Amino acid sequence: MSATSFLKRTGASKLCTRVVSAALSARSKRIVFGRRYYSGESKAIVFESFGKPLEVLKLHKFPLPDLTDSTMLVKFLAAPINPADINQIEGVYPLKPPFITTEYSSSVPVAIGGNEGVVEILQVGKGVSDFKPGDRAIMRHTLFGTWRSHAVAEEKDLTKIPFSGSEITAVQAATASVNPTTAYRMLKEFVDLQPGDWFIQTGANSGVGRAAIQLGNLWGLNSINIVRSRPDIDELKKDLAGLGATKILTEEELADKGFRKVIREWIGDSKLNLGLNCTGGESTTNIARQLSEGGHLVTYGGMARKPVTIPVSLFIFKDIHLHGYWLSRWSDNNPEDKEKIVVEVLNLIKEGKLKDVPVDESVWTESMSDEALLDTFKSGIATYINGAHGRKQLLVQK
């Protein structure tokens, strides 16, 4: 008697039957890919309900379905912890992940965390034409759930990385699609900046901020970069200057009215027509004050957890314009342009023109216990929540 028939005969619930069937099916396809071992199971960081990440995140294991002609088995090599991922878990992000039972073999609906990530293709269905085992790819859309060991994906879910592992590492690829692309688009979309023009930004040492400094520098733009004061401020200023930041100021320096004259002297007869904002609060108001007449202020984050506050006179008499930027909206409307920019960004990384974001890796290995996997991931989350000093937290699977 097969295990499945046994379950049926003993009156196990439909769900339970399906779970065990899937587990058995998975067990039967234990495979060794080159040096890599795959158990037929995915380990994932999930949550059952919205809440504080350290409280609601759990490790969940479930068998993956058999491949069809059009699907592929993929292994996640690296996946970052982005602000949007955290907001998603907290339930304050407008894109809600799907909560799933059957497909994840869970008795209660669970959602897998993470949106950005890089995978290696392990096995492809017969009908898959654009990918082959060994290829690497990034997520084409958000909401895939990237904090996991393995997945079954379709071709439409992935964008192939047209570079080898020695040209672009997994960690580089895992952080290339969101932050540099956001910076790239924000520098292009609102103002037709010309070489010699200036822009100003809060949160300049964020992933997007660092990308904006470097892309701006490549395109001949000058940048005024605002960062929070901190004990190692001189080191940070040196770091950002090394990326090509024209000027770097702390929020306190920016708030000092004396500095406004200094800023005007820096700019001279040039224009400061673009501000990028990922904080909110006072430093956002202060960068708005610096904009040239007719300038544009673009908000793409709210790290200070404060609203954007702008004096009425800046709207009326300085004719400033405010916008928001959300890469997901643009990507969904412009998937082909998104791919082009990602490839352009990866090429710049390969050529050393875009420097790596500083990262902390939470490393998963096949041999780790479930407790160790969860602890490792949560320590990355904790570091993120505590500020991480501008270092991107990544889940890396070796």
Catalytic residue numbers read: 93
Paired with 119 in beta bridges are 76, 137
Residue number, 40 or 295, with CB nearest to its own copies: 295
Q: How far is the CB of 390 from its own copies (least distance, A)?
A: 20
Which residues fall within 8 angstroms of residue 114, CB to CB, at 6 or more apart? Answer: 45, 79, 80, 81, 85, 144, 145, 146, 147, 148, 395
- Identify the residue among 154, 232, 319, 356 touching its own copies (CB under 8 A): 319
CA distance 162 to 137: 9
Q: How far is the CB of 14 from its own copies (least distance, A)?
A: 39
Which residues fall within 8 angstroms of residue 302, CB to CB, at 6 or more apart? Answer: 278, 279, 280
Amino acid letter, 105 = S
Residue number, 188 or 329, with CB nearest to its own copies: 329
Q: How far is the CB of 394 from its own copies (least distance, A)?
A: 24
Q: How far is the CB of 200 from its own copies (least distance, A)?
A: 17
DSSP-assigned states of every residue in 254-296: HHSHHHHHHHHHHHTTS-EEEEEESS-SHHHHHHHHHSPTT-E
280 is an interface residue for its own copies by CB under 8 A: yes
Of 186-215, binders to its own copies (CB under 8 A) are: none
Residue number, 186 or 193, with CB nearest to its own copies: 186
| Candidate ranges 113-121, 147-155, 325-333, 352-360; the one touching its own copies (CB under 8 A) | 325-333
Q: How far is the CB of 213 from its own copies (least distance, A)?
A: 21
257 is an interface residue for its own copies by CB under 8 A: no
Length, in residues, of the chain: 398
Q: Residue count at the site for its own copies (CB under 8 A)? A: 29
Of 296-315, binders to its own copies (CB under 8 A) are: 299-302, 307-315
The phi, psi pair for 22, rounded to 5°, reads -65, -40
Which residues fall within 8 angstroms of residue 59, CB to CB, at 6 or more apart? Answer: 43, 44, 45, 46, 370, 373, 374, 377
E strand or H helix at 208: helix 207-218
Paired with 72 in beta bridges are 124, 153
- Identify the residue among 58, 188, 323, 398 touching its own copies (CB under 8 A): 323
329 is an interface residue for its own copies by CB under 8 A: yes
58 is an interface residue for its own copies by CB under 8 A: no
Of 87-106, binders to its own copies (CB under 8 A) are: 92, 94
Residue number, 104 or 190, with CB nearest to its own copies: 190
CA distances 296 to 49, 70, 263, 271, 276, Å, are: 38, 46, 17, 11, 9
Q: How far is the CB of 216 from its own copies (least distance, A)?
A: 21
Residue number, 68 or 309, with CB nearest to its own copies: 309
How far is C-alpha 188 from the geometric centre of its chain's CA atoms? 20
| Candidate ranges 253-261, 268-276, 324-332, 348-356; the one touching its own copies (CB under 8 A) | 324-332
- Do 78 and 397 touch, CB atoms closer than 8 A? yes
- Identify the residue among 318, 355, 378, 391 touching its own copies (CB under 8 A): 318
Copy the structure tokens of residue 150. 């393995």
Which residues fall within 8 angstroms of residue 375, CB to CB, at 6 or more apart? Answer: none
332 is an interface residue for its own copies by CB under 8 A: no
CA distance 99 to 89: 12
Q: How far is the CB of 189 from its own copies (least distance, A)?
A: 12
Binding site for its own copies (CB under 8 A): 92, 94, 280, 285, 299-302, 307-326, 329
